[in-house]
Structure 1
Amino acid sequence: MKKLLFMFGLLLSLTVQANEDVHLDKAPINPSNLPSLQRGAKVFVNYCLNCHSATSMRYNRLKDIGLTDEQIKANLLFAGEKVGETMQVGMKPRDAKAWFGAPPPDLSVIARSRTPDWLYTYLRGFYRDETRPTGWNNVAFANVGMPHALWELQGEQHLQVQETKDIEGNAVVSHHLVLAKPGKMAPAEYDAMVADLVNYLTFMAEPAKSKRLQLGIIVLLALAFFFMIAFALKKEFWKDVH
């Protein structure tokens, strides 16, 4: 029991330390914004699904965000997949391990394991680092093995290190990302696209969440209604006793 408590405390301290080390930007997502979810699904299929799979997600679940089967076939299926199939990737795990050192992770529930804020910071936090095998590093994931798949859209950022001193004379080191080479998108446009992508990843992690919440509210209202009926019956049955 003491060992379990020790391990739990250690994991908790590591989690707190990780959250303190990385500043996470707030992801401006809106699960009820269907156009944003549709745009995010398009970005995911065109850029992420080349390497990452989403084996817990079926294409026909995109009908929950307002797309029809015809729209899914015309805009999101490029290799003869069927609407009822899961989002598989064509790259074999053996080839992925040879090219990247490890197979890219499945992204089905990445928003639940990493949080939307982390994903939003991560996808906007790549910068050039010639010491890395891919030439890229990331402020949210130090020494990341993934290359910057969206660099043509965002451009190239450099990490600027600035050292200042506080009122007590102690050195304070701060890091800032500077856009050294603009991409095809303006910074605001790229941030909006990343927000759409993170919005979709959040939806994909739990597609039935909105319906589940609606059903939960209906159940609670029904229980409250029957509670009032039961309370009235109780008063009626016991009125002569009291």
Structure 2
Amino acid sequence: MTILKKLIAALVLLPVLAFASEGGFPLDKVPDRTKDMSALQNGAKLFVNYCLNCHSASAMRYNRLRDIGLSDDQIKANLLFTSDKVGDLMHVAMAPKDAKAWFGTVPPDLSVIARAKSSDQGTGGDWLYTYLRTFYKDDSRPTGWNNMVFPNVGMPHVLWELQGVQDAKFVDVKNPHEGGEIEHQFAGFQQITPGTMNAIQYDTAVADLVSYLEWMGEPAQNTRKRLGVWVLLFLGLFFVLAWRLNASYWKDVK
């Protein structure tokens, strides 16, 4: 009987423990701007200027940016490095061995990062949106930065000039469910030095960048959704016609 009770308790607690291990820092909902051309263009500019120095997007070509309203001349003037061409893939010049030596690991390719980070806690866009807004100063880390969504992250805060420098505040709280054990809980951020953007402007810029990353993961997604609506309408109309034709065919059959 004791063994049976333990087995039942384990089966009951297992989903709870699994959820707790995946819970982590709560994710903020990212504004959906994947249909906003100006937001996507701004996101592409931020991606090239701040992300593409270390991260590649090897499944994306520069000329695909025509789909978000940019001409070849605009791409050449604003988004290409000196040696790149409009038809090139979005690669980085940094060698993988140099990246590993500087950061401890090779920065991941960002072609489908928004899709890869999807989980039960939120979409990949939600994860990225929260991640890029929760960096804080931590002198104990090799880069001088840490992150609430990704603790002990190896990536530095590349957008710090825009957001400024913030510190994370923690408080010690007794957990009544753990025998009064003291827990180190997050209590908010404190701005140390301002950035070139205020909080609203920075959140807007990050939303644009994340929307671009979501779009880049599937550039045809908006077209697919539009076609999907027409396909469903066609199927609905075809169903009505087939239903009435069937009724007409069988009406005299007893």
TM-score with structure 2 length normalisation? 0.84
SS of residue matched to 2:146: strand
The yes-or-no answer on 1:240 pairing with 2:228 is no
Equivalent residue in structure 1 for 2:77, among 71, 74, 95: 74
Q: 1:24 aligns with which of 22, 27, 42?
A: 27
The answer for the alignment partner of 1:121 in structure 2 is 130
How many Å separate the matches in 2 of 1:206 and 1:177?
34
What secondary structure is seen at the aligned counterpart in 2 of 1:207?
coil
| Equivalence map 1:146-157=2 (5 Å) | 146-157=155-166
Change (3 A) 1:222 1:12: farther
Aligned partners of 1:20, 1:165: CA distance in 2, in Å? 20
How far is the alpha carbon of 1:174 from its aligned partner?
A: 3.4
1:211 is paired with a residue whose SS is: helix
Displacement of 1:15 after TM fit? 6.2
Letter in 1 for 2:114: A
Which residue of the partner structure matches residue 203 of structure 1? 215
Task: Look up the match of 1:138.
Answer: 147
Backbone CA RMSD of aligned residues: 2.3
Post-superposition CA distance 1:16-64 (Å, at most 9, x none): 3344221111212321111111100000000100000001111122111
Per mean C-alpha deviation after superposition, the further-off stretch among 16-25 and 208-217 is: 16-25
Say which SS state the counterpart of residue 58 (structure 2) adopts. Answer: strand
Query: In structure 2, do the counterparts of structure 1 residues 145 and 12 end up closer, same or farther at CA, with 3 Å as the change threshold?
Result: farther
- For structure 1, the residue ranges without an aligned partner over 5 or more in a row are 1-10
Contact 2:114 2:125 in 1 (8 A): yes
Equivalent-residue separation in structure 2 for 1:118 and 1:19 (angstroms): 13
Tell me which residue corresponds to 2:232: 220
Name the SS of the counterpart of 1:192 in structure 2: helix
Deviations along 1:57-95, one digit per CA (max 9) or x if unpaired, are 111221111111221111111223222221111111111
Task: After TM superposition, list the pairs within 5 Å mapping 1:36-185 onto structure 2.
Answer: 36-114=39-117, 115-163=124-172, 173-175=184-186, 176-185=188-197
Percent identity (aligned)? 55
Structure 2 counterpart of 1:149, one-letter code = V
Q: State which drifts further: 12-21 or 89-98.
A: 12-21
User: Secondary structure at 1:117's aligned position in 2?
Assistant: helix
Structure-2 separation of matches of 1:43 and 1:134 = 21
Within the candidate set 189, 209, 215, 2:201 is matched to 189
Shift of 1:102: 1.0
Aligned equivalents of 2:222, 2:29: Cα separation in 1: 21
Deviant stretches of 4+, over 3 Å: 11-15, 163-168, 170-174
SS in 2 for 1:185: coil
TM-aligned CA deviation for residue 226 of structure 1: 1.9
Distance 1:172 1:46 in 2: 39
1:6 maps to which residue?
none
Distance 1:125 1:238 in 2: 66
Q: Distance in 2 between matches of 1:74 and 1:137?
A: 35
Taking structure 1 as the reference length, what is the TM-score of the superposition?
Answer: 0.88
The amino acid of 1:203's aligned partner reads: W
- Cα distance in 2 for residues equivalent to 1:99 and 1:65: 34
